[in-house]
Structure 1
Amino acid sequence: MPPHHTIIDVHTLLIRHNHLLLTRRRSHYGKGMWHLPSGKLDPHESLPAAAAREAFEEVGVTIEPDRLRHVHTAHVADSGPTPRLGIFFEARHWIGEPENREPDKCFAVEWFPLDALPDNVIPYPLAGIRAYLDGTTFTATGWGTRPR
């Protein structure tokens, strides 16, 4: 049996006064589109710790991992050559004011009303955001389009 490979991503929905923080991608994946603070799980790292680390690295906020609330899991087959397991966390408490800490990867950091998100959000995180807003805790997308 061939080895099973799935990338595990963590996404953080920073919520303040019914607004969501998004970052606008500069390069590579989703160039010019909006995205959540996110990244890959490192070996020997818990999911909440990874989400807190990525939020700090990308937008400079400090989040206690136990203050993160798991809100959605997405099993995605149509977001690149390798399937992904996306774990989405809500953060309503953090230390610091969000800023662009990765100008080589990001044009901007902006707050958007939850009911008026920009049109050009990358589809994978947008699916997680919509599921969060709908209260859906699990989705699987793209599996019907991949060979078995």
Structure 2
Amino acid sequence: MPPLPGSDAAAPPFALVPAAYVLLLRPRKDAGTEVLLQLRRNTGFMDGHWAAGIAGHVEPGESVTAAAVREGAEEVGVVVDPGELEPLTVIHRSNAVGGPPREQRVDFFFTLTHWRGTPTILEPARCGGLRWFPLDALPEPIPPHELTAFTALATALDGGQPVPAITSFGFAGR
């Protein structure tokens, strides 16, 4: 594809990288909602942060819902019925906050309250822990873009503003 008029032909090509995030939710015994989080390690991105229990890039030729189903099986060994995935929000973000917008991310967040199997760490080299946390008492640190989704969900479940369908994150002054 030839460069667009007025673009820098020497610049690297623009890339939009999609990912699926599945927030496994369950009711707390006392009240409220819990979310399953994994402690990232040896991934090269946000290691040491608590993150969505199921998340991963969409592979070439794969739909985002198929990626969510695949990641559920690969990461925590649960069977996800695509019809049970509830769209939560899409976060369009810059991969380099304040940097050149050559690579951007589009993160599709789903919630899931029904699955088959017990979540278990299946990638121990990449996951330092798997725990349920109350949405109103999340651990630190959490990747900032994911915290945006968790906070919006907690607010909506508490009777506040609904979760926006689309959120932008990390675009300085744009």
Fold match by TM threshold 0.5: yes
Kept in 2, the 8 Å contact 1:11–1:51? The answer is yes
2:93 and 2:109 mapped to 1: Cα distance?
13
What is aligned with 2:168? 140
> For 1:53-105, what per-residue CA distance to the aligned partner results, in whole angstroms no more than 9, with x for missing partners?
11211111111111101101000014577210000000000000101111111
Q: 2:111 aligns with which of 85, 90, 96?
A: 90
1:131 and 1:7 mapped to 2: Cα distance?
23
Kept in 2, the 8 Å contact 1:48–1:66? The answer is no
What is aligned with 2:94? 77
What is the percentage of aligned positions where both structures have the same residue?
35
What is aligned with 2:18? 8
1:32 aligns with 2:48: yes
Q: 1:21 aligns with which of 24, 27, 36?
A: 36
1:54 and 1:38 mapped to 2: Cα distance?
6
In the superposition, the TM-score normalised over structure 1's length comes to: 0.90
> For 1:24-67, what per-residue CA distance to the aligned partner results, in whole angstroms no more than 9, with x for missing partners?
01122111110112000112222111111112111111111111
Q: Which has the larger radius of gyration?
A: 2
> Larger RCO: Structure 1 or Structure 2 (Cα < 8 Å, ≥ 6 residues apart)?
1
Unaligned runs of 5+ in 1: none
Q: What is the letter of the counterpart of residue 9 of structure 1? A: A
Q: 1:122 aligns with which of 136, 139, 143?
A: 143
Kept in 1, the 8 Å contact 2:39–2:128? The answer is yes
What's the RMSD between the two structures over aligned residues?
A: 1.8
Q: 1:52 aligns with which of 31, 48, 69?
A: 69
